[in-house]
Amino acid sequence: MVAILQPPPLTKTGITKLTNCWLVTRDSTLIQSDLWVGSTTGKILNSQAAFYDDFLVPEHTIDLQGRIVSPGFIDCQLNGAFGFNFSTVMDDMSLYRKELDALNKKLLTTGVTSYLPTVTSQAGSLYHKVLPYLVPSGSARDASVGAESLGAHVEGPFLNPHQNGIHNPSVLQSATSIIDLEQTYGFNNFAYAIKMITVAPEVANMTSFIPDISSVGIIVSIGHSEATLSQATAAVEAGATMITHLFNAMTPPHHRRPGIFGLLSSPDLTVQRPYFGIIADGNHLHPSTVTAAWRTHPEGFILVTDAMHVLGLPDGHYSWTNGSSESSVIVKKGDLCHLEGNEEAIAGSAVPLIECVNNFMEWSGASVAEVLNTVTATPAKMLGLEGIKGSLEAGADADFVVLSFKEEEGEGRKKRLGVDEVWKFGERVV
């Protein structure tokens, strides 16, 4: 048959084209390019293939006026926000669901589109009750529910009692077999809800359980630990791929005994060097320490907030049940939190991830794209979600944020990145 010109099909394609914008790429550059987003598939499209193969053209075109488009942020350590703490048991657990839904919607405003809801060290009964609510949202792919759980991060209770941080030491355990872990968290939760476990590998025989844990698809992270470099190396070679808030709640590096930090540049490591979380809130770590970690192993550098439920609340005193029925009090002042009566006891942070991004950019001199990759591409890779989350490449989930530089009030007039728009599964949600 002869190809006589066909009139264009008048179908609704549901495709939005973002134009006049800078995209963050996997190799840490900003490129000026259009982004095609499918609202029906919820994914980033290969626009060239759509054009040539399927004769598709965008239904809407949005001019972003030179702003930056980054994949949606991924927070690997978030204890709660906007007044809700994931480690909370309620008399009526349907209320937990409601609070969680509200948190997911509000969390989007900070630019975080997916995260690991983090449960601190608790008695076993709490895990059984809350973890079923924190399962990965998986195939639901519903933009209207807000930020998406990629699975729970259980930070404890198999930790070193000497590095408990503010975790309640009375609930910490040492496991004698992997059954102990399954019983503590619940068999189903262990199989479905948990994405990451923070353990102290030197406690009991934990290192020997690591291959079994990682074999079910759970990421093993070293933290709240006094492991020496050789113990930590053994853990990494057994399958641990992450370090929970590097430097915090672990033996500080000594020049002859670098400890866990030594993993970042160890010449003896036979496997890939681990990823590591960094809390760049200006309180947990000195800027110089953050930069040292970045320079040592940039490919593993992941910014996390470790934010508490007081994130997004006004300054003041807030109660917190820390693994026991007794409630303690957290004092929030700006982005910082500490336990009441002890200003040295840092109680997580109250800083949104975008502020960690800004702090780190200011301290390290890393490029915008490099910094944004520490909350997008790198955590996605660590979680085994490369090319699905934390990416603007064709086929990835269309979770992304539109950012622009805003000049701060006051002296210095520093320019800081701000979140203008948030898109989830191809729909604008903020």
Q: Under the criterion CB under 8 A, does residue 412 sit at the interface with other proteins? A: no
Nearest distance, CB of residue 55 and other proteins, angstroms: 4
Q: How far apart are CA 169 and CA 171, in angstroms?
A: 6
Q: Under the criterion CB under 8 A, does residue 2 sit at the interface with other proteins? A: yes
Is position 160 annotated in a ligand binding site?
no
1 or 140, CB closer to other proteins?
1
Q: Under the criterion CB under 8 A, does residue 290 sit at the interface with other proteins? A: no
Buried-state track 267-292, b at ≥16 Cβ within 10 A, e below 16: eebeeebbbbbbbbbbbbbeeebbbb
Is 142 marked active-site?
A: no
17 or 105, CB closer to other proteins?
17
Is position 249 annotated in a ligand binding site?
yes
50 or 369, CB closer to other proteins?
50
Q: Under the criterion CB under 8 A, does residue 10 sit at the interface with other proteins? A: no
Is position 245 annotated in a ligand binding site?
yes
For residue 310, how many C-alpha atoms fall within 13 Å in the half-sphere facing its CB?
23
Nearest distance, CB of residue 2 and other proteins, angstroms: 5
Is position 342 annotated in a ligand binding site?
no
Is position 347 annotated in a ligand binding site?
yes
Q: Using CB under 8 A, which of 1, 256, 314, 344 touches other proteins?
A: 1
Is position 248 annotated in a ligand binding site?
yes
Buried-state track 335-371, b at ≥16 Cβ within 10 A, e below 16: bbbbbeeeeeebbbbbbbbbbbbbbbbbbbebebbbb
Question: Per CB under 8 A, which of residues 23..82 are in contact with other proteins?
Answer: 34, 46-49, 51-52, 54-57
Q: Under the criterion CB under 8 A, does residue 5 sit at the interface with other proteins? A: yes
Q: Under the criterion CB under 8 A, does residue 133 sit at the interface with other proteins? A: no
* Count of residues touching other proteins (by CB under 8 A): 19
Q: How far, CA to CA in Å, does 328 sit from each of 80, 125, 162?
A: 16, 20, 20
Contact criterion met (CB below 8 Å) for 293 and 245:
no
Contact criterion met (CB below 8 Å) for 155 and 198:
yes
Please tell me which residue in 101, 180, 212, 306 is annotated as part of the active site. 306
Choices 5-13, 132-140, 382-390, 417-425 (CB under 8 A): range interacting with other proteins: 5-13
Q: Under the criterion CB under 8 A, does residue 340 sit at the interface with other proteins? A: no
Q: Under the criterion CB under 8 A, does residue 3 sit at the interface with other proteins? A: yes
Q: How far apart are CA 350 and CA 212, in angstroms?
A: 35
Is position 348 annotated in a ligand binding site?
yes
- Kindly list the catalytic residues: 306
Q: Which residues are annotated as a binding site?
A: 155, 166, 224, 245, 248-249, 256, 284, 346-348
The site for other proteins (CB under 8 A) is made up of 1-8, 34, 46-49, 51-52, 54-57
Would you list which residues are annotated within the binding site for Zn(2+)?
Answer: 155, 224, 245
Residue ranges of the annotated binding site for substrate are 166, 248-249, 256, 284, 346-348
